[in-house]
Structure 1
Amino acid sequence: MKDGTGAGGPAPSRGDVYADYVKCYLEERAEVGPCRDPQLLNRAAQYLLSEAETGGTFTMFPFYQAVTERCEAQSDFRKHLSAFIRASEVLETLCVNLFLQPWKKEIRTLKTFTAPFVYCLEPVFSNSTIQSVLASIGYVPHTDPKQCEYRLSEDVNADKAMLVGFELLLARVECNHFLELQEDQLRPQEWLDVLQRRERAVKLTECTQNRTATEQTEDEEEKKTEEDKKEVAAAS
């Protein structure tokens, strides 16, 4: 979503929107489910419109990969996007539960034969994406495949789960934007091309960041080696 910033002054930053997202759930009698606050959704849309680089938008949830991996099998792209939004809401609800009430017995295990899994997640996400996202919020597959369930690990990080939930919110907002574009501008194939270009851009950004980090580490190691050599030479 990179078409402009819209009216009403400068767009909010990612940090501002995330802080508002967390604040919504810390209020008394907050609904334990996907965020539906109109003002927050609007601010999230403004942030996405203003974000120049796709690489910094989704750092926990692989949105562009996830939304494209099964869309080619769908002839109805609007139906696919709507299903993606519903699946994101299921995962976001899990994240919010882990943040607000991680002690609940009901969320300690996730059965893969339940309706949310079978009818919401599996038609939209690949098994690897489901497993990756669940792992990022603390769920691991049962060691016995016959159990058909994920279990919550003991070292679950509630703040990390909330960050994943926030990116799932951004994914929903982005999907709604694509639905609007399909109505006004983009044909299905054009929409798919846009998504694939953004997925490649994200991968390129990640590769560049990894390469930069590796080069920095190598430079630091070389510098340390040179300093060690100088110390040895001085001592002798």
Structure 2
Amino acid sequence: MGSTSLSEDYRLCLERELRRGRAGVCGDPSLRAVLWQILVEDFDLHGALQDDALALLTDGLWGRADLGPALRGLARAFELLELAAVHLFLLPWRKEFTTIKTFSGGYVHVLKGALSEDLLTRSFQRMGYARRDDHRLTVTTPPPTCQLVQVALGCYALRLECEIMDEVLAQLGTSLLPAEALLAARRASGDVASCVAWLQQRLTRADEPPPLPPRSSTGTYGCSLDLYRGLEEDEGSEEEEVASVYRDTSPMVAPPATGPAYEGRLWEQSAQVWGVGGPAWEAPGDSPPYRVSEEEPELAPFCFLSLQHGPPSDMDVAGPESFPAHSCLPPSGLAEPPLHTWLPRPRGGALAGAPQAGP
């Protein structure tokens, strides 16, 4: 499959995604699988798609101590360049896509963090951008659509190449090696396994390779950044982030629950405690059995007195034969009738048999 056929397939993929309401980088899995296999077997395809592809890879990896994070950051930069070309191809009437702010979050944090200024300027010039001032790149003369598709396809292939080399490092077991060794191994090999074997032979002659550092999460390079707004504009409201077609969406992670664990409904607990409608409650094994303390004094039995107005008789205060007699009234008040002081005087006097309170 030649570069012309790949460009046509890539263009059809973008237009198909646009009809589905999505204007973004290519996400077709079949095209990705085909291009991945071609790049693995033929590294020189990058030169046919983009004349400075090797310079971009070398510039992004040269002098990096750990190639793993460098490859992921470089892949993010190629994705942003691809997105800029796709926007001009699919939506040329959108005025905001004709100006790149070189002080925007995407340009500063992603592009300049991975590539040199000269290579970035050259890449944007292929899309029709020219420097307007120290802070902006503006499209003066739109290039042909076929050129925009070719630029986007070249950046897409470079993004896949970063993923291929990242897979090589994962199988190799280390990402701490010179960039020129990794690029030389990719150009000399026809698949991932032979590339790993080539690097293992070279590293065996050198010192023992250090272990592979832990991979960073995918969200590290999936931040919501674009090229058309400034740094202060990137910190917009949540509604603007959702409405923007350039921003990535990340799932919200629910905070961990801080309340107590589920302990059952109150009536279920009562049934278990009292043995009604459920299994009988059992005390924990580590708790001692319940018993009355020998030091606690025995509580005296309680006697209910009849609610009458006169003084209680001996029969009223006498308890059963096995209990002593108790009285709930003080000894001094047994001869005096109780006073209904809680009732108002007119209503209390109207009640039959109600004693009148003295002055």
Give the TM-score of the pair, scaled to structure 1.
0.70
How far does residue 131 in structure 1 lie from its aligned partner after superposition? 0.3
In structure 2, which of residues 118, 124, 137 is the aligned counterpart of residue 150 of structure 1? 137
For 1:31 and 1:164, the matched residues in 2 are separated by 19
What SS does the aligned partner of 1:69 have?
A: helix
- Number of residue pairs the alignment of both structures matches: 184
In structure 2, which of residues 137, 146, 153 is the aligned counterpart of residue 166 of structure 1? 153
For the 8 Å contact 1:95–1:162, the answer to whether it is kept is yes
For 2:30 and 2:115, the matched residues in 1 are separated by 29
For 1:47 and 1:64, the matched residues in 2 are separated by 17
Report which of the two has the higher share of helix.
1
Percent sequence identity is 24
In structure 1, which of residues 139, 142, 158 is the aligned counterpart of residue 129 of structure 2? 139
Which consecutive unaligned segments of at least 5 residues does structure 1 have? 1-11, 200-236
How far does residue 53 in structure 1 lie from its aligned partner after superposition? 3.8
How far does residue 30 in structure 1 lie from its aligned partner after superposition? 5.2
Equivalent residue number for residue 66 of structure 1: 56
For 2:43 and 2:66, the matched residues in 1 are separated by 29
For the 8 Å contact 2:89–2:145, the answer to whether it is kept is yes
Which consecutive unaligned segments of at least 5 residues does structure 2 have? 188-359
For the 8 Å contact 1:64–1:196, the answer to whether it is kept is no
Over residues 9-62 of structure 1, what are the superposed CA-to-partner deviations in whole Å (9 max), with x where a residue is unaligned?
xxx4433332211101122125222212211110111221332745743434x2
What SS does the aligned partner of 2:100 have?
A: strand
Equivalent residue number for residue 36 of structure 2: 45
For the 8 Å contact 1:87–1:120, the answer to whether it is kept is yes
Residue 95 of structure 2 is aligned to residue 108 of structure 1 = no
How far does residue 196 in structure 1 lie from its aligned partner after superposition? 5.8
Q: Which moved more, 1:102-111 or 1:150-159?
A: 150-159
- Flag the 1:133–1:52 CA change in 2: closer, same or farther, 3 A: closer
What SS does the aligned partner of 2:138 have?
A: strand
Equivalent residue number for residue 195 of structure 1: 183
For the 8 Å contact 1:89–1:168, the answer to whether it is kept is yes
What amino acid is aligned across from residue 36 of structure 1 in structure 2? G
What amino acid is aligned across from residue 140 of structure 2 in structure 1? S
For 1:33 and 1:132, the matched residues in 2 are separated by 22
For 1:53 and 1:109, the matched residues in 2 are separated by 33
What SS does the aligned partner of 2:137 have?
A: strand
Residue 72 of structure 2 is aligned to residue 82 of structure 1 = yes
For 1:194 and 1:110, the matched residues in 2 are separated by 33
- Flag the 1:92–1:52 CA change in 2: closer, same or farther, 3 A: closer
How far does residue 198 in structure 1 lie from its aligned partner after superposition? 7.5
For 1:179 and 1:197, the matched residues in 2 are separated by 13
Equivalent residue number for residue 31 of structure 1: 22
Give the TM-score of the pair, scaled to structure 2.
0.47
- Flag the 1:40–1:30 CA change in 2: closer, same or farther, 3 A: farther
- Flag the 1:182–1:67 CA change in 2: closer, same or farther, 3 A: same
For the 8 Å contact 1:17–1:43, the answer to whether it is kept is no
For 1:25 and 1:189, the matched residues in 2 are separated by 37
- Flag the 1:197–1:179 CA change in 2: closer, same or farther, 3 A: closer
Larger Rg: 2
For 1:92 and 1:35, the matched residues in 2 are separated by 9
Larger RCO (alpha carbons 8 Å, 6+ apart): 1
